[in-house]
Amino acid sequence: MTAPDAGRGIGGGGYNAEETTTFGFPRDSFRILHVSTGNVCRSPITERLTRHFVAERLGVLGGGLIVESAGTWGHEGAPMEANAEAVLAEFGADASGFVGRELLDEHVIMADLVLTATRDHRAQVISMGHSAGLRTFTLKEFTRLVRAIDPATLPGLEYGLVARARALVRAAAALRGWLLAPTAEADEVYDPYGAPLPFFRSIGDEIHQALDPVVTALTGVPARM
């Protein structure tokens, strides 16, 4: 059975299983959805950096991993902001072919992990229903939880990237409520829309630092020094 393709970041091959998810989608894929407001700044940067860093660790974006993004007030069909493209270029990530999307129910239904820029975005996703609560986190919240998970408790990559990713989300959800943010602002990635390039760079660095332990946990491969 082939995973449904929304046309954004399909990685090929890898893990196969006959079991399906609650919503009937195949379990041979794992879909990460990044959410911000307009889907032209923060979530495109996070989407493309996730793809880039996974490909760096594994040599290819594959193993059934799908990485995409949308916005709660998404600029449907809009290009990525030029400063966001510039930040991605500085990381060596590919910004080509990006098109903004408004967040729809189907995106939340199909996502195995939703990572939002802010707590407000997280609340908006959860309010859409679809049992999203246990798989929706702010990016920085998920990073904090992932840091507390012993990687030895996760399935090895010999069991497939999908199996490892699903176990990671379950473990993070189990820790929620035990590892709280030191301040409310600690879980926020602020909106750089309309800001100059230096502020976009600072947001890119924040996202990079938050993504690094997540990608390490997903792939089992640390970043190159």
User: Each residue of 39-86: pLDDT tens digit?
Assistant: 999 999 999 999 999 999 988 777 799 999 999 998 999 999 999 999
Q: Is the pLDDT of residue 180 over 70?
A: yes
- What is the pTM (predicted TM-score) of this model? 0.87
5 pLDDT band (50/70/90 cuts)?
very low
At residue 27, the pLDDT reads: 59
Q: Is the pLDDT of residue 181 over 90?
A: no
3-state SS, residue 165: helix
Q: Is the pLDDT of residue 16 over 80?
A: no
3-state SS, residue 69: strand
What mean pLDDT comes out for the span 131-137?
Answer: 94
Alpha helices, DSSP H only, in the chain?
A: 42-58, 82-91, 105-110, 119-127, 139-147, 161-175, 197-219
Which phi and psi (to 5°) does residue 35 adopt? -125, 130
Sort 63 into a burial class: Cβ within 10 Å, 0-12 / 13-18 / 19+: buried
At residue 224, the pLDDT reads: 75
Query: What sign for the dihedral angle of Cα 5, 9, 13, 14?
Result: negative
Per the CB < 8 A criterion, the answer to whether 192 and 41 are in contact is yes
Q: What is the pLDDT of residues 78-92, one digit of tens each?
A: 999 999 999 999 999
- β-pairing, 113-116 vs 30-36, is parallel
Please give the mean pLDDT across all residues of the chain: 87
Quote the CA–CA distance of 207 and 36 in Å, as a whole number: 12
- At residue 53's C-alpha, the angle toward residues 80 and 47, to 5°, is 30
Give residue 180's identity as a one-letter amino acid code: L
Q: Is the pLDDT of residue 24 over 50?
A: no
At residue 225, the pLDDT reads: 60
The number of beta carbons lying within 10 Å of the beta carbon of residue 91 is 18
3-state SS, residue 30: strand
